[in-house]
A = this chain, B = another copy of it.
Amino acid sequence: MAINLGERSYAVHFRADGLKELSERIDVAARARRVAIITDENVAPLHLMPLLSGLNARGLSVTSCQIRPGEAEKHLGTVSALYDGLLGWGMQRGTLIVALGGGVVGDIAGFVAGTLLRGIAWVGIPTTVLSQVDSSVGGKVGVNHASGKNLIGLFHQPTFVWVDTAYLRTLPTREARAGFAEVVKHAILGDEPLLPMLTRPAPDLLSAEPEVLLEILKRAVRVKADIVARDEHESGPRMALNLGHTLAHALEAETGYSAMNHGEAVALGLSFVIEWAASRELPRTTADAVLAALKGLGFDIDWRAWVNRLNLEHLLDRIDADKKNVQGEVHWIVPRGAGDMEIVKLTKAACRQMLAGMLPKRTGE
């Protein structure tokens, strides 16, 4: 599948067990026949050796760096350690960086690639559902800052992205489910008929026939690819991808990136915004289909419980500090229907009022 971005276009390849072809494609992309694999300590024991062997067998010079796993490691310190390791190894302009892992690995490795030697080519091998359907498309790379998620970052498109269902077999259930929250988001943004395909537990989806899983992944990626192609640098349509993420980012940050993973936060953010949207223009049937998919997949969608558990003012500070805050207004993406997003601009005070208005109902549900 082509991601159309003019001179920065690239392909996402969908395969079931395509390791041999992957080595060949990396070989072609590695101009200087040198490859630096960045992965993490969870992924390495499962998937590093086969890839290393394949590349070594082709005569490539390969090094690998393992970072500690988890969103909490996605900061400038990890980037700095990777600069040291890669430059110490003898990184050159023609060296190819390969990101083998989930979204955190891809975001960090892509950022390192984008900022080393004024930009190094890189290949993404996302190993989770989340990173396969979301962060693998669009070239957004970066790390978190103490004051918010992804505040340090840039756009750096990969040479290609490799989506292989083989990697999903080793995913823990919780990780696997997380990614399907983004699939649900993509369905709302541009493929409503995908929703009913998602109304069953995530582990069932993963053990379905490879063709079914590949179709879900492809359709989810297609929605994002179409949006990104129209708006590489997020000035217009790409804003829609932030659906559910304004609250999700605030929840993740306010719980210290430990109580929930990104997909779980997105599921909460989506259930909140869909409820809000249904009180405005979104047809009840669409809202119900979304909530049914999220519930069916096994997500906690009780966003009220989380908001009530946290300090509302701190949460509002996080929302207000979001990078989609433009001239003092937070830009919320609110669906009017599947594929039809409205941008609702609210000041911090208006956000407080809106949330306060939606919070009661604790006993009503």
Residue of B94, B114, B115, B152 near A326 (CB, 8 A) is: B94
Task: Check if B154 sits within 8 Å of A93, measured CB to CB.
Answer: no
Tell me, in angstroms, the Cα distance from A146 to B152 when the chains sit together.
Answer: 22
Residues of A contacting B: mostly: mixed
How many monomers of this chain does the complex have?
A: 2
Task: Check if B92 sits within 8 Å of A326, measured CB to CB.
Answer: yes
> Hey, what's the 0/1 contact readout for A5-23 against B, CB within 8 Å counting as 1?
0000000000000000000
Q: How far is the CB of A229 from chain B (nearest CB, A)?
A: 16
Task: Check if A94 sits within 8 Å of B147, measured CB to CB.
Answer: no
Within 8 A of B (CB), among A77-93: 80, 83-84, 87-88, 90, 92-93
Q: Which residues from B are CB-within-8-Å of A88?
A: 147
Answer yes or no: A233 CB below 8 A from chain B CBs: yes
> Hey, what's the 0/1 contact readout for A59-79 against B, CB within 8 Å counting as 1?
000000000000000001000
Q: Which residues from B are CB-within-8-Å of A150?
A: 118
Residue of B87, B154, B324 near A145 (CB, 8 A) is: B87
Tell me, in angstroms, the Cα distance from A94 to B324 when the chains sit together.
Answer: 10
Given contacts A87-B148, A118-B155, A234-B118, contact A32 B94 (CB under 8 A): no
Task: Check if A115 sits within 8 Å of B83, measured CB to CB.
Answer: no
Answer yes or no: A323 CB below 8 A from chain B CBs: yes
Q: How far is the CB of A167 from chain B (nearest CB, A)?
A: 27
Tell me, in angstroms, the Cα distance from A83 to B144 when the chains sit together.
Answer: 11
Q: Which residues from B are CB-within-8-Å of A111?
A: 115
Task: Check if A154 sits within 8 Å of B115, measured CB to CB.
Answer: yes
Residue of B116, B154, B324 near A114 (CB, 8 A) is: B154
Q: How far is the CB of A239 from chain B (nearest CB, A)?
A: 11
Task: Check if A154 sits within 8 Å of B118, measured CB to CB.
Answer: yes
Number of interface residues of A (CB under 8 A): 39
Given contacts A152-B83, A155-B118, contact A93 B142 (CB under 8 A): no
Tell me, in angstroms, the Cα distance from A152 to B86 when the chains sit together.
Answer: 11
Tell me, in angstroms, the Cα distance from A214 to B117 when the chains sit together.
Answer: 33
Q: Which residues from B are CB-within-8-Å of A148?
A: 87
Task: Check if A151 sits within 8 Å of B234, measured CB to CB.
Answer: no
> Hey, what's the 0/1 contact readout for A302-329 against B, CB within 8 Å counting as 1?
0000000000000000000101111100
> Hey, what's the 0/1 contact readout for A139-178 against B, CB within 8 Å counting as 1?
0101001111011111100000000000000000000000
Q: Which residues from B are CB-within-8-Å of A32?
A: 326-327
Residue of B83, B118, B145, B154 near A119 (CB, 8 A) is: B154
Which positions in A face B, CB cutoff 8 Å? 32-33, 76, 80, 83-84, 87-88, 90, 92-94, 111, 114-119, 140, 142, 145-148, 150-155, 233-234, 321, 323-327
A-B contact pairs, 19 of them (CB 8 A): A32-B326, A33-B327, A76-B80, A76-B83, A87-B145, A90-B321, A92-B326, A92-B327, A93-B323, A93-B324, A93-B326, A94-B326, A115-B115, A115-B153, A117-B153, A117-B323, A118-B234, A118-B323, A154-B154
A88-B147, A93-B324, A118-B323 known, 4 other contacts, Cβ within 8 Å: A76-B76, A76-B83, A87-B147, A115-B152
